[in-house]
Structure 1
Amino acid sequence: MDRFVILSGCSGGGKSTLLEALRRRGHHVIEEPGRRIVTQELDSGGSALPWVDATAFVRRAIDVSLADRKAAAKLPGIIFFDRGLIDAASALQKLTGEPALTTYGQSHRYNGHVFLTPPWPEIYVGDRERRHDVSEAITEYDRLTVDYPALGYQVHILPKIGVEERADFVRSVLGLS
Structure 2
Amino acid sequence: MSDRFVAISGCSGGGKSSLLAELTARGCQIVEEPGRRIVRQELAAGGSALPWVDAAAFARRAVEVALADLAAADALPGWVFFDRGLIDAACALEQATGEPAGQTLGVGRHYNARAFLAPPWPEIYVQDPERRHGFEAALIEYDRLLKAYPALGYEVVLLPRASVAARADFVLGMLAP
Q: Counterpart in 2 of 1:116?
A: 117
CA contact (8 A) 1:86 1:105 kept: no
Q: Counterpart in 2 of 1:134?
A: 135
2:19 and 2:38 mapped to 1: Cα distance? 21
Q: Is 1:74 aligned to 2:75, yes or no?
A: yes
Q: Counterpart in 1 of 2:160?
A: 159
Q: Counterpart in 2 of 1:27?
A: 28
Q: Is 1:96 aligned to 2:97, yes or no?
A: yes
Tell me the amino acid that sits aligned with residue 106 of structure 1.
V
Tell me the amino acid that sits aligned with residue 148 of structure 1.
Y
CA displacement 1:96-123 (0-9 Å, x = unmatched): 1112323315345210010000000110
1:40-59 aligned at under 5 Å gives the runs 40-59=41-60
CA contact (8 A) 1:62 1:85 kept: yes
1:120 and 1:78 mapped to 2: Cα distance? 26
Which consecutive unaligned segments of at least 5 residues does structure 1 have?
Answer: none
| Cα distance, 1:91 vs structure 2 | 1.2
Deviant stretches of 4+, over 4 Å: none
1:1-12 aligned at under 5 Å gives the runs 1-12=2-13
CA displacement 1:36-83 (0-9 Å, x = unmatched): 000010011000000000000000000000000011011111100000
2:125 and 2:64 mapped to 1: Cα distance? 28
The worse-fitting range, judged by mean Cα deviation, of 146-155 and 98-107 is: 98-107
1:144 and 1:123 mapped to 2: Cα distance? 20
CA contact (8 A) 2:42 2:49 kept: yes
TM-score by length of 1: 0.96
- Tell me the matched-pair count: 176
CA contact (8 A) 1:93 1:101 kept: no
SS in structure 1 opposite 2:104?
helix
CA contact (8 A) 1:89 1:105 kept: no
| Cα distance, 1:94 vs structure 2 | 1.7
1:167 and 1:51 mapped to 2: Cα distance? 32
| Cα distance, 1:95 vs structure 2 | 1.7
Identical pairs, percent: 63
CA contact (8 A) 1:106 1:151 kept: no
Tell me the amino acid that sits aligned with residue 172 of structure 1.
G
Which consecutive unaligned segments of at least 5 residues does structure 2 have?
Answer: none
CA contact (8 A) 2:11 2:118 kept: yes
